[in-house]
Structure formats: C-alpha cells, structure tokens
Structure 1
Amino acid sequence: MVGMSVEQVLRQFELERHLKQRVAYTKVIEEKKACHCEISLKEPFQRYLKAKGIRLYSHQCKVIELLRAGKNVIITTPTASGKTLAFSLPVFEKVVEGASALYIYPTKALTNDQLKFIKEVEELAGLQLFPAIYDGDTPTSKRGEIREKARIVLTNPYELHQVLPWHAKWQRFFKSVKFVVLDEAHRYRGVFGSNVALLLRRLRRVCERYGSNPQFVLSSATLANPLEFSKELVGLDFELVSEDGSPRGRKYFILYNPYFDGKGTLSAHQETAKLLELFVKNGVHTLVFTVSRKMAELIARWTRQNLKASNLPEHVVSSYRAGYLPEERRQIENALKKGELLGVVSTNALELGIDIGSLDAVII
C-alpha cells in the first residue's frame, strides 16, 4: 500500500480520464479554528481532560452549564465535535454523588462504543461509575447484578420496552435516575419515532411513580427542526445548543456519476468497489455505506478480489452489517479504529456516531 495524502489521491480525479469524466460536481469546505472555553470542573474530571490532552470547546461548556441548571438539552453540533463528552461530564458529576443515568442508543455497536468511553473515563479519572450494558446480548447470569448495582445503564428502545413492565425489579435504579440520554436522536422519526415517543412517556410515568424526575439529553448531528422534534419526542421543553466551537479541517465533497454518458460501463456498485480499491491502494482509510447486507458483502468481496489480482493484501478490507455475531462486530470495529483495516463496507449499522478513529474518506 502506498501512503498518500487525501489531496494527492483527489489529484487523480483531475488527471485520470476515467475518473475525471465521472466527476459531476466538487465543493471544498475550508477549515475552521477552535473556540475554547474555561469552566469549573471537579479534580477527577480535570485529571481526565489533562490525561487526554483535551480543552473544552464553547458549545461543550454551554451544555454543561445548562445541564447543571436543570434544563433539558438537545445538542446538534456536527459529527466529531465532542457531543458525548459535553453531556457526559455533568452526568458523571451527579453519578459520583449517587444518582443514576440511563443511556439509550439505537444500535448495539454504538452502545458498546460508549461503554468503552465511560470505562476510559473511570480509569483515567480514578472514579467508580458502575456502567453496564443491558440488552439482548446481556447474559441472564449478570442481569440481576446490573439491576442492583449499575449506576449508568446503557440500552436500546427495544430492551427498554421489555424492562418497563418489570419496573418493580428496577426500583433502586428508577428512584435515583437523574438523566436520560438519547444519542443519535434523529433515528427516532416516522412510525418508529412515534413508538419511541410513547415509550419515553411510559418511562417518565415509571420514574414519577418512584419519585424521580430526570432531565433529558438529546444528541444528533442531522436535525433540521431540533426544538420541535425534541418536544414531540419527549413531551418536554428543551434548550438548543447548535453553535459549534470545535475545529474543522478542510473537506472535499465530490458528486461522482457512473452514468455520465447516459449508460456507463459498470454498475454503481461496481464503480463503488473500484473507488474503494483506489483509496485503499493509496493508504486512504475509507468507509463505504451501501443499501443492503448483500451489497455490503459483494462490494467488499469485489474489492478484495481486485487487490489480490494486484498482489496486494486483501485482508485490509472488510464488510460490516447486522447479522454478525457480537464478537465479530467488535473485532471489525477495533480493527478499523486501530488502522488495521483500510476499508470497510457497511450498511447503516455503522453510521451512528461510533468512534472509529482516523477516517479519510466516506463513499455513499
């Protein structure tokens, strides 16, 4: 593999006739500098930030202030702007004091990724937050212990639906729950969103029965009407944080048309495999989103075959989709994060805010 910069690879789209013909539109978004802020934090959290070399951005400080003031908050800053850290710091402050928190995620992959983040904070800050995942993969032998001891429970709407009728077993947790967090909230739309809205109202009634009145935190990078959306979903008023203080590198958007001449020579999926091969050959870490499980497998297979034909290692490309065993999903996620994989072809199972480390290109 040849390690090239993104700019060097994009230069090929200008020089190679096959690529140049298919580029219908290009847009460049220039870089933006960070806007930092200062806020009072307890010593363990200062220690964590120092260990990670993190300075808080302006929108993160605003989220912390609003949550400390007892407000419900919806955060709509862009991807990789530090939304999770922003709402987690005030949540952890209360958890250390004895409160509980419920984190709701739409996918198991995202749930597992966030558990790693919480455990990292525990280790570097020297805290005991007692986080645990409670979903369909949780062994029966561990469920009782989680109900009795966990302070931060990470789950999904489907599992919460199963838990609420058995709320008496969760009395300890529901009595002390102070925060309910819904990450990637834009997924809760349409009929599914209506069902989740009713689920959250059931949750609020259960909490009220046990004397708690939790604050709600919603997070999403892709919402056009956040205040209206949050009110309809949860049934409460929210404060909006949308002004982004994080830095941003230069980004390139390319509209690539395989049928530039009205017919094309390859299908859109085969063209995708060719583009992925180009990026992988040049050492560009690439994530491909496709329309189905079948196409995720086929595009990954075609790319591996092309790499093998060029006497290049084929194991640097993998598919990712629902239906894999939990261990297989974790293995792929970790390999992508560590840079062992240069290309992953996925359904929307991998789109929701998972920390996958350094990523250079995305093909949709």
Structure 2
Amino acid sequence: MDELFCPQCGMLKRRCKCRKRSIRQRNLELLKKVGYKEFLLPLFDTDDEIVLYKVLRPFREKPTEELDFLPSELASCLRKRGIGRLYPFQKEAMIRLMEGRDVVITAPTGFGKTEAFAVPMLWRALHGGKAMVFYPTKALARDQEEKIKFYASSLGLRAVRFDGDSGREERRAVLSGKCDIILTNPDMVDYHLRNTPAFRRICRELSFIAVDELHTYTGVLGSNMHYLVKRLSRFAEFQIACASATLSNAAEFAEELFDRDFVLVSGEHRKGTLHLIFRYTPSLYSAVREIVTALRNRKIIVFGNSYKSVETINLILRRHGLKSAIHKSGLPKEVREEVEAKFKRGEINIVVSTPTLELGVDIGDVDVVVSELVPYGQMIQRVGRAGRKGQESVGVVILREDDSISTYYRTKPEDYFKEEANGYVERHNEEVMKFQLISMCIEKPVRLEELDRQSAEIMQKLQAQGIVVEREGAFHPTAKAIELSRAFSFRGIGDAVKIYHDGKYIGERALPIAVKELFPGSILVHNGVRYRTVELDLKRLRAEVVELDYGNEITDPLYMTIPRIIEVEEEIEEPVNAVYCSIEINYLVHGYIERDVFDRERKAFHYLDEPVSYTFKTKGFLFSAPFPEPADYEDYYAGSFHALEHVIIETTDAITGGGSREMGGISVPEGDIFVYDASVGGSGLSKLLFKRLRRAFEISKTILESCDCGRVDGCPKCTYSYQCGNNNQPLNRIGALNIAEKVIKGVKRKTDWRKYTDVIEIRYFP
C-alpha cells in the first residue's frame, strides 16, 4: 500500500501537492536564473512545468549596406521612403534578381523582404513589361498596397490592386493595360485568366512575378498555384521572386512548386528582446486561460492550430469574463476587418486566431503571443507579430501532456530549435489537375506535347467523358467543360457540407473532415456557440444542428478506415521498403465518445443508428514493418503495429510542421501500415514524411523509450492518439519500440502492396 501514498505528506499521491509545489519552485528558480522580470512572474508561478525559458536578444538589427550599387533612380526612390541602408540579404536578393535569376528570399517579419523583391521588380517594369505580385489574401494586399504604390509612383509607374474589392476604375486600369504592376491574389488571376480575354492579353506582357508569403502555398492551394503559374507561362516568359519568413526548405519547396531552379537568399535578424517560454500542461485550455488572465492588461494573440481549438479557446476565455475575439478564414470579410481594427485601436486586447494572423497584416502593437506547438520557424513567424518596434515581447509555446511530440520536446527541448518548418505540395492531385487542365483548354487549346504523362492520362479521361475534344492535335473545351469550370474553387477541392441552424445557413465544413465532425450527435463550436448535429445528409451535402446550453462536453468519432491502392508512383528501400501511391480511402463512422474538454475524461459511448460512409481518393504511402520479438500479450502484434502507426503520424508535427491533424493512418495485424493525406486528391504532407521516414523512426524510438508511463499499452504521452477511430485499442508500446529499434538497425520486410489493389477482408485499425 505504501506506493499509493506520498512519503512526505502522507496523502494519496493523486491528491498530493508536494510535486506541484516542487514544480512551482523550480519554475520560479528558473525565472531568477535566466533573467528575472516582474511582469513574467505570473507565467512562472504555476503548477504547470516551465520546461524551457530563453531570452533571445536582438542581433543584426540595423541595416549596414549602402545603396550605391543601385541605379540612381532606385536609390532615390528608397531614400524618399526613409531607407538609407539595406540589410545584406536585401542587397544580395536585389543583385541576383536584377541579373535575371529566380530567387527565394527568407528573413524574419519586419526586415524588408518586400523591398528586396520590389526594387528589382520596379527595375524590370521601367524597362518594359508588366509585373504581378501575388498575396495569399486580400487583406495582405491592402496592407502592402500603399508601400508598393509609393515606390511605383516615385518612378513614374502605376501600381493597381486587383481583387474582389477593387473598384471599377482599378479593374479598367488592369484590363486596359494602363498599369505596370498588378497587386492581386491567385483566385483573381485564376478566374480572369480563364474567363476574360482582355486579361489574357495583358498576361502576354508579364516579365516578373512575385509570390509573397510562400509558406502559405502548401497542400491544395499549392497544387493549384503550381498549375496557375504553368498556365501563365503559356502566355509569357517571366522570372519569379518568392518571399517567406518561416520555411526551412524554401528553395526545395519553390523548385517543387514552380518546376524551375531558384537561388536562395537568407537573412537572420531580431529587433527586440524575446522571452521564449515552453509550458508543459495537462490542459491546453486551462493553461491558455491562466496565461491570458494573468496578462489580461497586455495585447495578446493566441494562435491555435485548428478551427476546433480556436473556437474552444475563445469560448472558454469569454466564459471567464475575458474580452476576446476570433480571427480565422471562413468568417465574413467585414467581421475579420472589424476584429483587426478593434485590436489595433485597443478596443479589444485578446485575439484568438488560426494561422491567418501569421501573415503581415498590420494589427498594431502586440506584447504577447501564446501558441499551440508549431515548428520553431513558424513560431518565430508568430512571435514576430510582437515586438515589431523593438520592445520586449513574450512568446509562450504550449506543450500538451497528452501529446507525444510535446513530451518529446519536454525531454529534449533544445531539439525544438533544430526541427524544420517545411513546405509541401502534391503536384499530381488528380482533382486539381482535372480543373486546371480544363482551364488550360479554355484559355488556349492544349497540344499533347505540352503535357507530362500524368496530365496526358487525365486529359484522355476528360476526353472520354466528353469534357474536351481533340482536333488537329490539340484539346479544346466543350460546353460541359465551361459549365464544370464555374464550380471550381481555387482554395479547396471536393465537396463541402453546409451547416444549417433553424433553417439558416451558418457555415460549412469540407469533406472528408466533415464526416468526422458533423456525424449525428457530434458537438461543434462555431463562432462562439455550441451546437449538436441532429442530421447529416451527404447526398444533399447538408447538416442540421441545434444550439446547446452551457457545457464542457466534446465528441470524438469512432470509425473504420478501409484502404485500396490505385497506383504506385514511387518506391524506396531505406529505412524500410515503402511505396508512395494514389489511394482510395473509405471512412465509416459508427459511433462516438463524449469527453470533458478540460481533462478529456470519457463520459459516454454512443453508437449511431446508421453508420456514415464516405469514400475519397488521395495520396499516401504503405510499408510493411518488421515483426517485434515474440511476447505474451493480448493482441500483441496488432497492438504493436497500431501503436507504431500512431507515433509515426504524430512525428509529422516535428518533421512537416504540425501536419498530424491533416493526415490519417491505418495498420493491420500482419504489419502493414498506411499513412495518407486526409484531403481529397492529396496535399503533399504524406510525401514529405515519406521522404523523411528515417527521422520519423528516430523520433518515434525516443518517444517510446523515454515515456515514463511504464504501461504496456502506453499513454497519451507516447502511443495514444485523439484521432484514433478505434478508441486507442489495441496498443502495445513495448512491441512498437522493438519495431522502431529494428528498423533503425536495418531490419526490413518486403512490402506486398499488390494485395491492396482490391478491398480485402482484414482487421484495420485507424
């Protein structure tokens, strides 16, 4: 019985406060050791463990390079803006771009990446030809508009913002060719390139394209951007400049995205002192509430990694009397702009945001950034929203006790600064390719020699469906193609389920994620209101919800996932024999669990009267893991492979940049493990992990062997996954660790992928 009681106070260990007192004391000692600041005291006076505290000092904060290398009119233009010197990366980027090279620029927020590409762009425009600057959002284009227009007008050039909010005069200036620089977004260019002949004529004069915030062009948006630039290149030859604050693989990603070679130019700088804190907590929501409450008089941005976490955090903060607001894509433009304006004016001082506010929109001074776990490069982008004028700022990274990667960084916090934020794209997303090839045919007939193998195969399918016709060696659109093109969305692919409350449309969720979030009985939070789904009709793409009273319940789906391989595209032999492939996934939701939002305690099981089924095509990879050494546990082999699948997917948060929520996995008792993109057509995430599998196994091994749970099945810190559709059963941590050790030592099996070209009768564990 002694092991149940604390030897110091004699209380039951689960009620003992000795450990909490010792954690709090260590936190306060760490604050004093690293650099005591009175305003930081509330962040350290906590029962949550402060794993790491670093004070990151300013460095290379002043520009050093003279302007004498520039033509006099360009140097004069910068001086009028108050810029008398440049940072070294700006000078190098300008020189390379003025030599005609394609360049990708990486540097922290607020150090002049815009000038680095804008000056050479203006130089090209002065010598004939037009330039186009792509911003991922209209808000960012508006934010940068004044600066670009200032530079352009100083040189006798005209810059025009061309997006859905542009007025008649601005549109006329673009379509009549009476502007030199077009500030726009990919959605606008996609639409007018396909539908407006006058715009296509303008595109024949393009000589320079700039792509700001390159890191946003991942997944489906990146797939579409790849083909949009390819479509533009059918009308003109141009050079490309890209800029990003976060990407670790910027050149590799730009080359994959645009299919050309790039020169990488980087700058590392910091203007103000940053206090970076890692807080390890059993509850994300309680930790955020405590931090925001303690610093409620400062201007704070809380970054969540998903709609669900952002909505839940905001709901909890408002329940506790804190004046917070949400900022996320999907909200009406006027709502987002109102939040930005109120925060800038100080009418609200707490904003809870998805990554939308990572971008360079001016929202005024920010003192504190609190964030869910993201890679270091992305975290620096987020905390770059604070301290932009050189003042001291605070960045808090929340490490969740129930998250295996958070636990990994708790034991090896310095590894956090080594991991990368990587861009990823799946260029051969068939759903994207179909619409993009239709667009190409509408814009200008497509000759067969223009197409690679995959594009030619898609074009032949379109021809068989009567969407395009071939005449004189070129493909032309039919009326059916024109009709299909009207339904195209540049930002997403596939269908979305519309959500209705009392007959009124309140929002939508894209498939396939909608199946896991809008099944009958599910609880969702939307714009600060809790709802329960009462009906999901996938044929009509409609969900009916009712409003819920106050409560702390959330729901997790119980489901099966059944794979079928369509085509193998690539095979590797190290560290395992694995195949990357086109794959068909069938989701079958058959029930759900209700949990408490704070401690995730299970409250109830529910089974659906009728399962919800949805099938989609995507990309993923398959490998056959070596069997662990024999051991006498129930469901030993199935549990070992299932646990390994969970941990490998969780490692993607360190390897790919927080992508585990956008991926799925399947294991079978025979040792075959699938990892796939949880999006229609594929996003490129699984391909990025496929290329970095050795690192995934190394991190998995560390997580499994360092966890202190001592349990055979593991725990939320090592093997459990809240995405698991089988209620985290069966799992075996010991067997999974043995498999990871074997793989790292070079033990492998041949993967028999051909048996999955049909749906087979076997136990699958999602």
TM-score bracket, shorter-length normalisation: 0.7 to 0.9
Q: Residue 280 of structure 1: SS of its match in structure 2?
A: coil
Q: Which residue of 2 aligns with 1:280?
A: 296
Give how far 1:73 is off.
0.6
1:268 corresponds to which of 284, 293, 296: 284
One-letter identity of the residue aligned with 2:300: T
> Whole-Å Cα distance in 2 between the matches of residues 9 and 356 of structure 1?
23
Distance 1:331 1:72, change over 3 A: same
> Whole-Å Cα distance in 1 between the matches of residues 271 and 96 of structure 2?
25
Question: What pairs with 1:1-364 in structure 2 (closer than 5 Å)?
Answer: 7-14=37-44, 16-18=45-47, 21-33=48-60, 34-39=62-67, 40-43=70-73, 46=76, 48-52=78-82, 55-121=85-151, 125=154, 127-135=156-164, 137-138=165-166, 143-148=171-176, 149-166=178-195, 168-207=197-236, 213-244=237-268, 246-259=269-282, 267-281=283-297, 283=298, 285-293=299-307, 295-304=309-318, 306-307=320-321, 314=323, 317-364=324-371
> Whole-Å Cα distance in 2 between the matches of residues 25 and 278 of structure 1?
19
> Whole-Å Cα distance in 2 between the matches of residues 324 and 54 of structure 1?
41
Give how far 1:52 is off.
3.7
Q: Which structure has more RCO (C-alpha within 8 Å, separation ≥ 6)?
A: 1
Q: Which residue of 2 aligns with 1:262?
A: none
Q: Residue 211 of structure 2: SS of its match in structure 1?
A: strand
> Whole-Å Cα distance in 2 between the matches of residues 56 and 230 of structure 1?
25
Give how far 1:346 is off.
0.9
Structure 1 unaligned segments of length 5 or more: list them.
1-5, 208-212, 260-266, 309-313
Does the 8 Å contact 2:159/2:183 carry over to 1?
no
Give how far 1:86 is off.
1.2
> Whole-Å Cα distance in 2 between the matches of residues 120 and 97 of structure 1?
19
One-letter identity of the residue aligned with 1:147: L
More helix by share: 1
More strand by share: 2
Give how far 1:35 is off.
4.7
One-letter identity of the residue aligned with 2:257: L
Q: Residue 205 of structure 1: SS of its match in structure 2?
A: coil
Q: Could you give the per-residue CA deviations for residues 57-99 of structure 1, whole angstroms, max 9, x where no partner exists? A: 1111111111111111100122222111211122123334553
Does the 8 Å contact 1:38/1:56 carry over to 2?
yes
Give how far 1:201 is off.
1.2
Q: Residue 94 of structure 1: SS of its match in structure 2?
A: helix
Distance 1:254 1:104, change over 3 A: same
* Worse-superposed segment, 126-135 or 24-33: 126-135
Q: Which residue of 2 aligns with 1:210?
A: none
Structure 2 unaligned segments of length 5 or more: list them.
1-35, 372-766
Q: Could you give the per-residue CA deviations for residues 328-360 of structure 1, whole angstroms, max 9, x where no partner exists? A: 323333444455542211112222233334322
> Whole-Å Cα distance in 2 between the matches of residues 347 and 17 of structure 1?
26
Distance 1:337 1:121, change over 3 A: farther
Does the 8 Å contact 1:287/1:345 carry over to 2?
yes
Query: Normalization by structure 1: what TM-score?
Result: 0.79
* Worse-superposed segment, 249-258 or 233-242: 249-258
Distance 1:43 1:76, change over 3 A: same
One-letter identity of the residue aligned with 1:25: L
One-letter identity of the residue aligned with 1:299: I
Supply the RMSD in Å over aligned alpha carbons.
3.0
Give how far 1:240 is off.
1.0
Q: Could you give the per-residue CA deviations for residues 104-142 of structure 1, whole angstroms, max 9, x where no partner exists? A: 12223222222243245457x48542321224x446786
Q: Could you give the per-residue CA deviations for residues 145-195 of structure 1, whole angstroms, max 9, x where no partner exists? A: 432233222332333222222463125522332211111212223444233
Q: Residue 75 of structure 1: SS of its match in structure 2?
A: strand
Distance 1:44 1:73, change over 3 A: closer
> Whole-Å Cα distance in 2 between the matches of residues 306 and 280 of structure 1?
12
Does the 8 Å contact 1:167/1:206 carry over to 2?
no
Q: Which residue of 2 aligns with 1:263?
A: none
> Whole-Å Cα distance in 2 between the matches of residues 301 and 117 of structure 1?
37
> Whole-Å Cα distance in 1 between the matches of residues 106 and 37 of structure 2?
29
What fraction of aligned residue pairs are identical, expressed as a percent? 31
Return the index of the structure with the highest Cα Rg.
Answer: 2
> Whole-Å Cα distance in 1 between the matches of residues 209 and 112 of structure 2?
18
Distance 1:126 1:157, change over 3 A: closer
